[in-house]
């Protein structure tokens, strides 16, 4: 099988580094193009990440081991260089992990798509663009059906934009969807997140702010966590994705002194029929979706893992489950205010960032949108 040549925009940042690590030896994609800010452009990748490689990303090899040490970093703003890479066969689509302002990111990603280069984005800039799908591959793969509409709306030929949602919702959206899909409507959620410092990106949270401390505020995070699930659970109508009206979600987001892994404590109220705890666990443990049916390389074999121990899941013990792509649940029990409560965990820079982006790209390829 001939591999599809791919690029990473924002390749020197934390999420960009994670993309590069996860793309090593990928059976479908081959990293051939890296781009970042103008200050990194023209440098060999090794020079561009000197002093920063593994600064915030753990458990990944060195650039030399990954075969990218000698790649020249391009300026992500230079579309001429990207077009040239396409023409010589070194680029078919890009993963976007740029660290720019929202307006700049929105314009840059649209420019790549307009140039015929599909964009699989980690950024929030296009999450609420009405005809841009915001994907969790196991939850709403059907939203890819809006891509031809998006292209028609803008006069784009091959290019398009697909985004993934905020990392803070990854741990509980798949379990919530599994219940909805099984016929149990969900009316309300109250969620408290405990989010790892790696989610803050590079250079991260100052050590004096987080050691021996919890920061009970992450700018914009609660709004994203309350609103993005509704678009994911929405439907395509009138050439746009219409957000669902339920569940109503209230979220408290906290930064905690954990390196990787976002934990969420969830209280859930059903909107009609109420399954037993045994039924809920059976739904979750048996859940499988299109990525598993298609055998996508980055897809976890078991999207949802349930731990029965009283003190699990824990980030250090459970975040790397099944390629760090599984959601691990525990403490499933009755709730005195709503119906059930549980604790959920996912790896924020893998499932919630680069790994989730790669899985979205695999889904797009399987559905005929890439290569």
Indicate which residues carry an active-site annotation: 167, 262
Structure tokens at 3: 């591999």
Please answer whether residues 71 and 45 qualify as being in contact, where contact means their C-beta atoms are separated by less than 8 angstroms: yes
Distance between CA 148 and CA 158 in Å, rounded?
10
Residue among 366, 223, 357 nearest 292 (CA):
366
Handedness of CA 44, 48, 52, 57 (dihedral sign): negative
Within 10 angstroms of residue 177's Cβ, the number of other Cβ atoms is 21
Class of residue 26 by CB neighbours under 10 A (exposed 0-12, middle 13-18, buried 19+): middle
Phi first, then psi: what are they for 190, rounded to 5°?
-120, 125
Measured at the CA of 124, the angle between CA 122 and CA 128, to 5 degrees, comes to 125
State which H helix or E strand residue 283 sits in.
helix 277-285
Structure tokens at 258: 């954990």
As beta bridge partners, residue 342 has 266
Strand, helix or coil for residue 22: helix
Measured at the CA of 363, the angle between CA 361 and CA 368, to 5 degrees, comes to 95
* 119-121 and 161-163 strand pairing: parallel
């Amino acid at each position: 099988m001939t591999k599809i040549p791919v690029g990473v925009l924002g390749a020197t940042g934390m999420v960009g580094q994670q993309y590069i690590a996860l793309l090593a030896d990928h059976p479908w994609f081959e990293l051939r193009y890296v781009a970042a800010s103008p200050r990194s452009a023209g440098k060999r990748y090794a020079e561009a990440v000197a002093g920063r490689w593994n600064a915030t990303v753990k458990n990944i090899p060195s650039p030399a081991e990954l075969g990218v040490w000698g790649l020249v970093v391009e300026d992500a703003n230079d579309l001429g260089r990207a077009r040239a890479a396409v023409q010589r066969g070194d680029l078919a689509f890009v993963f976007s992990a740029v660290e720019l302002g929202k307006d700049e990111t929105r314009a840059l990603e649209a420019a790549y798509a307009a140039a015929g280069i599909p964009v699989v984005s980690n950024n929030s800039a296009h999450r609420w663009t009405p005809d841009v799908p915001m994907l969790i591959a196991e939850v709403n793969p059907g939203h890819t059906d809006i891509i031809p509409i998006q292209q028609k709306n803008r006069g784009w030929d091959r290019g398009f934009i697909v985004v993934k949602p905020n990392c803070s919702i990854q741990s509980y959206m798949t379990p919530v969807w599994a219940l909805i899909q099984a016929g149990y409507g969900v009316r309300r959620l109250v969620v408290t997140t405990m989010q790892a410092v790696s989610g803050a990106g590079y250079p991260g949270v100052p050590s004096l702010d987080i050691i021996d401390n919890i920061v009970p505020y992450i700018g914009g995070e609660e709004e994203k966590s309350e609103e993005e699930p509704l678009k994911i659970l929405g439907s395509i109508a009138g050439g746009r994705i219409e957000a669902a009206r339920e569940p109503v979600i209230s979220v408290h987001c906290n930064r905690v002194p954990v390196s990787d892994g976002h934990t969420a404590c969830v209280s859930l109220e059903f909107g009609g029929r109420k399954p037993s705890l045994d039924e809920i666990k059976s739904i979750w443990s048996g859940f499988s979706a299109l990525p598993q049916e298609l055998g996508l390389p980055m897809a976890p074999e078991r999207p949802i893992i349930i731990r029965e121990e009283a003190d699990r899941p824990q980030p250090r013990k459970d975040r790397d489950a099944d390629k760090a792509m599984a959601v691990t649940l525990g403490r499933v029990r009755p709730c005195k205010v709503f119906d059930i409560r549980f604790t959920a965990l996912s790896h924020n820079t893998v499932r919630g960032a680069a790994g989730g982006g790669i899985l979205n790209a695999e889904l797009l390829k399987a559905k005929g949108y890439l290569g």
